[in-house]
Each structure stands twice: as C-alpha cells, then as structure tokens.
Amino acid sequence: MMVMRVIRCNCKIVRVMSLGKSQIKCIAKVLSLWYKKDIFSQLLKELSEIWPTTPLDEDAQSIKTRSLSALHMTQRWYFATNVLGVWFYNVTPIVKYMYRWLKEGDGQIGFVWVSWYPFDKNGTVAHIAVYIFEIFAGQTCVWIMVSTDLLFSGMASHISMLLKLLQRRLQCFGTTPQTDDVNYQEIIAIIKLHQRLIRYCNDLEGVFSFSNLVNVVLSSMNICCVVFVIMLLEPLPALSSKLFLVSALIQIGMLCWYADDIFHANGDVATAAYNSGWYRTSPKCRRSLLFLIRRAQKPIAFTAMNFTNISLATYSAILTRSYSYFALLYTMYREN
C-alpha cells in the first residue's frame, strides 16, 4: 500500500513537470504568434501570390497532389491525437469516479490537472468551477499548440512543394527549341522565383525561430516524463498519457521533417539545373544558370534561434536524449 502511494506521488510530480513544460511551450508560441502577426499576414498574402494554379502538366500536378495529400494526412493525425488526448484527460476523473462507485459504492470526482489554487477547491461549487476551468484551460492550451504547429507545417509544406515544382521547371528548361531571348527570360523568371522562395523561407524561419527553440529544448524532457508516467500509471490514466506521447512525437517529428524536406529540396534545385538542357542555350543563359546553381548550393535551414539547424538528425538526437533521460530517471527510481 505504501509503495503504491509513493508511485502515485512520483507520477503526479512527473506529470506536473510534463504539463508545466507543455504550458510553457503554449505561452511561448502564442506570444510569438501575436507579436509577429503582421509578418504572418504578409507571408500568407505572399504565399497566395506564388501558389501554383492550373493548368499544370501531369508531373507537376502529381507533385502538387502528393504534397497536399501528405500534408492533410499528417495534420489530421496530429489534430486527432491532440483533441482525443486532452478529452481523455478531461473525462478520466469522471470515469474513475464511476468505476469506484460501481465497485465500492462510494467515490469522489477528482480534478483534471494537478494544480494549486489560493482557495479550497474541494467545496461543491468550487469543485465544479475548478473542473470546468481546467477543461477550458487544457482545451485552450491544445488549440494554441495545434494552431501554431499546423500553421508552420502548412506553410513549410507549400514552400517545399514550390521548390520541387521549380526543380521540374528547371529539368524542362532548354529541352525544346526556343530563341535565346525566350530562354533568357525563362531563366530570369526561375531565378526570381527561387530568390523569392529563399526570402520567404528566411522570413518564416525568423518568425518561428523562438518557437522552434522552445520545442527543441523542452521536447526531450517532455517525452522522457511522459514515458516515465506511462510505465508506472494504471491503464486508464496511461491511455491519456499515451495519446499525449504520440502527439509530442508527431509534433517534433513534423517540425524536423518539413525543415529537412526544404533543406534537401533547395539542394536538389542545383541538381535539376545541371540536368537541364543548358548546353543548348546561349552563353548568357549559361552564366545566369550558373548563378542559380551557386545560390542553390547555399543551404536553407530552419534553426532554433541560430543555436542549431533543425533536420531529421535533430529528431534522432531528441529521441536519443529522451531515452537517456528516461533510463537515468527509471534507474534512480528503482534504486530508491
């Protein structure tokens, strides 16, 4: 009996740490979004101007369809796990109360979160008010988290798609007989679009840089704490924590995936330019194309406030650190 009390006490402490980190992430994201709302508005307006419209050739349309399908699937999973996770947290005290009432004939409804209030929250009216407030607070936190992450993933996915469409356009350059002036105007339009995409990525990186830093710094400890809670909790509360773990893995994985995708898509622009029909064009077109190749060789990377580049290697490092922290925490717990 004493052992179970100690386990529950330790789980509550770790859950408070985990939820506290989530609240810090939400506050940081909403402040960043509000502070730079004018830049967001400008970025969305600019994205609508460079968005590829019909008619597109078959390969370009296939690139666009695959990109949008992958984005929709990822965002649906992320949205579903977050909403289901927070509602499992919301209804867990009620389900536990009903289970105790059916089994023992008596019970008391607990609270959604482990929180401190400057008043006695166990009174009837206070209990109801606190329970409703905690549902509202948890749901608001999830909406902030989901909205900012979906905004970043959507904009990053579209930029990656535009870079891939630019590759397709470069591969077709010079393959059909055209005058030198037409070829030159085509390569100038491609260079201007590439520069615009680079500037767009830099602006997007500046907007989300602080939010990315918070994600990278806190994700390892957050995942570690959630896994520790799952290992020690009974099945019902652990179900909510498992959904929370899935959403945390999707969140940081989505960030690293799209950052890595843009990094490689920009590098592949130089390869597509080299594989074009540049040898059929005039020296002036070749010089312009060489300028594009040199610029594409300079990587575009999302950073965490310039401390580190974000990529799939970052995701692997976060998971490795999470496992190391969990192994240390679990070993200390077993020894004590």
Query: DSSP of 109-138, one letter per residue?
Result: ---SS----SS-TTSHHHHHHHHHHHHHHH
Task: Write out the two tokens for 316.
Answer: 């692997």
- Of 128, 134, 142, 97, the C-alpha closest to 112 is 134
Dihedral angle, C-alpha 253, 28, 161, 306, nearest 10 °: -80
Q: Residue 25: its pLDDT value, please? A: 65
Rounded to whole angstroms, the Cα distance separating 332 from 328 reads 6
- Between helix 2-35 and helix 180-232 the angle, nearest 10°, is 160
Rounded to whole angstroms, the Cα distance separating 139 from 269 reads 42
183's CB contacts (< 8 A; 6+ apart) are 173, 174, 281, 282, 285
Tally Cβ neighbours within 10 Å of residue 47: 16
Q: Residue 162: its pLDDT value, please? A: 92
**122 class by beta-carbon count within 10 Å (0-12 exposed, 13-18 middle, 19+ buried):** exposed
Residue for token digits 């008619």?
Answer: 55
Task: Write out the two tokens for 3.
Answer: 């052992």
The list of the chain residues with pLDDT below 50 reads 1-18
Contact criterion met (CB below 8 Å) for 248 and 26? no
- Distance of alpha carbon 326 from its chain centroid, rounded? 23
Angle made by CA atoms 311, 14, 3, in degrees to the nearest 5:
140
Angle made by CA atoms 323, 329, 332, in degrees to the nearest 5:
140
Report the first-to-last Cα separation within the chain, whole angstroms.
Answer: 16
For residue 303, report the phi and psi dihedrals to the nearest 5 degrees: -125, 165
Task: Write out the two tokens for 88.
Answer: 């499992």
Specify which residues 303 forms β-bridges with: 309
Q: Residue 16: its pLDDT value, please? A: 46
Per-chain mean pLDDT for the chain: 81
Rounded to whole angstroms, the Cα distance separating 106 from 249 reads 38
Contact criterion met (CB below 8 Å) for 160 and 265? yes
**DSSP reduced 3-state for 189:** helix
Task: Write out the two tokens for 131.
Answer: 């329970």
pTM (predicted TM-score): 0.82
Q: Residue 28: its pLDDT value, please? A: 65
**DSSP reduced 3-state for 254:** helix
pLDDT digits (tens, 9 = 90+) for 80-100: 888 888 888 888 888 888 878
- Of 147, 161, 143, the C-alpha closest to 71 is 161
- Distance of alpha carbon 227 from its chain centroid, rounded? 20
Q: Residue 163: its pLDDT value, please? A: 92
285: enclosing H helix or E strand: helix 283-296
